Chains A and B, each alone.
Chain A
Amino acid sequence: MQTARNKAWSFTWAIPALALLGAFVYLPLVQNFGFSMVEWDIYSGSQEFIGLENYRKLVDDPIFWSALGNNLLYSVISVVFQVFGALVLAALIESIRSDRWRRALRAIYFVPSAISLTVAGLLFYFIYEPNLGLINFLLDVIGLEGWAQPWLGQESTAMLGIIAMSQWQGFGYSTLLFAVAIQRIPSELHEAASIDGVGPGRRFFMVTMPLVREMTGLMMIVTISGAFQVFNEVMVMTSGGPNNSTQVLVTWLYRSGFVSNDFGYAAAIAMVIFLVTLVIGLVQLWITHKRKVEW
């Protein structure tokens, strides 16, 4: 009886947090789903229920699909660089015997992550600038002026230019997290593998990778869901242009709502983003949980 009362009492402490979570996370989610089924004129305030029409419109919208494709490209490249690339780099840095060098390299790789995305976007906008930018200047200096491009000004290179900046900005953060995970691996495991004659490459695959699996899973979730929520860097560098070639889901949501005044359609895009990131998160958590390694 006493235990049950204690349990009930302890639950009351969670009520404020649950109320806040409900009011600011779950209620707006439900509301947003409702908004995605109306045609909403922000000027008159009028709302007309149109069912799933906004979702049908999504299917027929070529820019929506192109934006989704850009998000997928963003995800794939981010996973390659910010998950697997960062893991390899972290392993290399942690294998360095000199403490001083190890610390210095960690700091060097981490510095870009300390810069805000908006600032980094602006910085790279000017690096890519066709007339005054650093890249075209350097290409000119080394005699490769023929390779100079209007990097963000043409459809073929603009999206890749934004993704490259994003990798530069996020790489150090992932590397640092992997370095922490690698440091947690008992040194005896690496020493035992060395005594058995296992080389550094195989040690990476046989010891390091399995033992940082949870961190890898976590980084995959963060990276992929982050890639579907990209906004700042695109707005700063290209605003979704030229000719909508760098639209991603969130910029298309923004444009639909704030430029085309179609807030119902924007809400439908928001639901798609939510569902995509939720499904990816659940699948990855399930995989990571199934393969949990303990030592």
Chain B
Amino acid sequence: MHTRTRLTAAAFVATSALLLAGCTGGGSGEPVDVTAEPEYSGTLSILSKFAGDPLEPYFEDLAAEYTKKHPDVKFDLIQETDQSIKDKTKTLTASGALPDIYFSWTGDWAENFVGGGLAADLSKVIGPDTEWGKTFGEASLDAFKYDGKYYGVPLYNNGKFMGYNKAIFDEVGIPVPTTFQEMIDSCSPIRNAGYEPIAFGNKDGWPGLHYLQQLFAYNVPADVLKADFVPGTATLDHPGYEKSLKEFKTLVDQCTKSGDGTNGVLYTTAQEAFSAEKAAMYYQEVLEFDTVTAEGNAITADEFGVFKLPVPSDPAGDPDAIEGAPEGYLVNAKSPRAALAVDFMKFVTSKENAAVLASPPYGQPSTVIGAVTNENSSAAVYEGISQVNEASQIVIWLDTVTVPDVAAAWLAGGEAIIGGSSTPEKVLESVRTASDSAR
């Protein structure tokens, strides 16, 4: 038993040790030439965030088509979900095994790879003045711009909206709310009619952060908010934060079925409640619009409407801001197939393939100019992405825009606010402490 105990514990420690032992010295070596003529042979490895239905076939089909054009090119496709890709990417990074092409969010997430020398500088091929770069909206390219250089291939744009069931709103006799207070006031009649006003599951913590970030954008001036994302310049003392936390708590208590127990509900359970017409509203990303109205669900595309989270009274921030960000792919700066990787991503973002991506069942609003149209996209996706494009500013997700320790403090704070175990003042104090430690 002695041996067994030691072995068990040692094996555990060994796992982390072996993982770390695999690290390679990032940032060293000659930069890859992404402008070179690609050599159409070998295996191209890709880490995508397209696992599961309905997204999984997209990259599989593209890889198969590309292989048809270039028979000597094979693919090693690793497809992960929104949740699992975070761990997978870090495991591959720590073990020096990043694929040739890998998914990335914008903000601090991508900046880590750029800073570590793990993302190839794509400026010469995707900069706004290049042939390929001109096919994208400039704001999408800028989302992956660091120190004046362009590192990412933005694949689709995204934004957060309140989806609502038009039939339930009609039945209850309430209009689409135009202010935050109107939305809160609508919850009581919806509940009395037998529906959950707003479906919400915060088991993973980040859904709560999405509400908070949009409220912060409304209640905190844009320049203050931007400075507060960076520990070196953060003060986090604007009263808009406290106001936002209180408004979020009001929404949870008055409009959700589980109230202070929402931390025990899955995000997908909430989505299913909305899809099954048991809930009148559900705060969701554009990427999810076509999923909730997919065939087999009770709510139809005609019954589905979207509106921006209504602005609270006396907003000190930007009432026209929308929370969201493009998501895209980076090319491994150490990849011997970097030129081939660039060629494949050009193929992925061709207007034809971008239009397929924007259409049902995928419903991922491509960043390629002209790919999202009234004809090929669902009405909700078209409306949502049009609003994102017209927004005065896009505010990146709170869990990826700032450093991990500060994001973790916001995450724990959001859960504590929902459960009622902390106050807005205490939450802000813990976030300030995390931010100070991260300097």
- A43-B93, A130-B265 given; A242·B415 CB < 8 A: yes
Which residues of chain A are within 8 angstroms of B118 by Cβ–Cβ distance? 43
B409 CB, nearest partner CB in chain A, Å: 10
Q: What per-residue 1/0 map shows which CB atoms of B240-260 lie under 8 Å from chain A?
A: 000000000000000001101
B12/A267 in contact, CB under 8 A: no
- A42-B93, A261-B404 given; A26·B10 CB < 8 A: yes
B114 CB, nearest partner CB in chain A, Å: 9
**DSSP class of A's interface residues: helix, strand, loop or mixed?**
helix
Complex Cα distance A242/B416, Å?
Answer: 7
B247 CB, nearest partner CB in chain A, Å: 19
A241/B205 in contact, CB under 8 A: yes
B102 CB, nearest partner CB in chain A, Å: 13
Which residues of chain A are within 8 angstroms of B9 by Cβ–Cβ distance? 225, 229, 273-274, 277-278
Q: What per-residue 1/0 map shows which CB atoms of B410-429 lie under 8 Å from chain A?
A: 01110110110110000000
A260/B405 in contact, CB under 8 A: yes
B204 in complex: contacting residue of A41, A130, A239, A255, CB < 8 Å = A239
A123 CB, nearest partner CB in chain B, Å: 14
B20/A243 in contact, CB under 8 A: no
Which among B23-31, B63-71, B135-143, B292-300 touches the partner chain? B23-31
Interface residues on A, range: 35 or more
| B316 within 8 Å of A (CB atoms) | no
| A281 within 8 Å of B (CB atoms) | yes
Complex Cα distance A28/B12, Å?
Answer: 10
| A40 within 8 Å of B (CB atoms) | yes
Which residues of chain B are within 8 angstroms of A285 by Cβ–Cβ distance? 1-2
Complex Cα distance A242/B422, Å?
Answer: 12
| B112 within 8 Å of A (CB atoms) | yes
| B189 within 8 Å of A (CB atoms) | no
B8/A129 in contact, CB under 8 A: no
| B227 within 8 Å of A (CB atoms) | no
Which residues of chain A are within 8 angstroms of B115 by Cβ–Cβ distance? 43-44
A29 in complex: contacting residue of B17, B112, B205, CB < 8 Å = B17
A128 in complex: contacting residue of B6, B23, B264, CB < 8 Å = B264
B93/A273 in contact, CB under 8 A: no
Which residues of chain B are within 8 angstroms of A225 by Cβ–Cβ distance? 5, 8-9
Interface residues on B, range: 35 or more
| B193 within 8 Å of A (CB atoms) | no
Which residues of chain B are within 8 angstroms of A154 by Cβ–Cβ distance? 260-261, 263-264, 419
A267/B422 in contact, CB under 8 A: no
Which residues of chain B are within 8 angstroms of A29 by Cβ–Cβ distance? 10, 13-14, 17
A-B contact count (CB 8 A): 187
B273 CB, nearest partner CB in chain A, Å: 8
| B117 within 8 Å of A (CB atoms) | yes
A35/B20 in contact, CB under 8 A: yes
Complex Cα distance A239/B266, Å?
Answer: 12
| B313 within 8 Å of A (CB atoms) | no
B10 in complex: contacting residue of A25, A152, A261, CB < 8 Å = A25
Find the B residue at minimum CB distance from A38: B20
| A85 within 8 Å of B (CB atoms) | no
Which among B84-92, B151-159, B337-345 touches the partner chain? B84-92
Which residues of chain A are within 8 angstroms of B269 by Cβ–Cβ distance? 129, 131-132
A28/B21 in contact, CB under 8 A: yes
| B116 within 8 Å of A (CB atoms) | yes
Which residues of chain A are within 8 angstroms of B113 by Cβ–Cβ distance? 43
B419/A242 in contact, CB under 8 A: yes
Q: Which of A20-34 contact B (CB under 8 A)?
A: 24-26, 28-29, 31-32
| A151 within 8 Å of B (CB atoms) | yes
Complex Cα distance A155/B91, Å?
Answer: 30
A267/B5 in contact, CB under 8 A: no
B412/A32 in contact, CB under 8 A: no
- A155-B419, A243-B415 given; A130·B90 CB < 8 A: no
Complex Cα distance A270/B411, Å?
Answer: 24
| B18 within 8 Å of A (CB atoms) | yes
B90/A32 in contact, CB under 8 A: no
| B94 within 8 Å of A (CB atoms) | yes
The CB with the most chain A CB atoms within 10 A, among B1, B91, B94, B408, is that of B1
A131/B117 in contact, CB under 8 A: no
Which residues of chain B are within 8 angstroms of A221 by Cβ–Cβ distance? 1, 5
| B284 within 8 Å of A (CB atoms) | no
B13 in complex: contacting residue of A28, A40, A44, A128, CB < 8 Å = A28
Which residues of chain A are within 8 angstroms of B93 by Cβ–Cβ distance? 42-43
Complex Cα distance A152/B422, Å?
Answer: 17
| A149 within 8 Å of B (CB atoms) | yes
B7 in complex: contacting residue of A25, A151, A217, CB < 8 Å = A25
Complex Cα distance A218/B2, Å?
Answer: 9
A267/B16 in contact, CB under 8 A: yes
Complex Cα distance A130/B261, Å?
Answer: 7
B20/A40 in contact, CB under 8 A: yes
The CB with the most chain B CB atoms within 10 A, among A25, A151, A217, is that of A25
| B36 within 8 Å of A (CB atoms) | no
| B124 within 8 Å of A (CB atoms) | no
Complex Cα distance A130/B257, Å?
Answer: 9
- A28-B21, A43-B116, A270-B12 given; A150·B261 CB < 8 A: yes
A44 CB, nearest partner CB in chain B, Å: 4
13 contacts between A and B (CB under 8 A): A31-B21, A32-B17, A150-B264, A222-B5, A229-B9, A243-B415, A255-B408, A258-B91, A259-B408, A270-B12, A273-B9, A278-B5, A285-B2
For the complex of A and B, the 10 pairs showing the least CB-CB separation, nearest first, are A150-B261, A153-B264, A43-B116, A28-B14, A28-B17, A281-B5, A153-B261, A242-B263, A32-B17, A242-B415
Given contacts A152-B203, A225-B8, 4 further A-B contacts (CB under 8 A): A25-B11, A31-B21, A241-B203, A263-B94
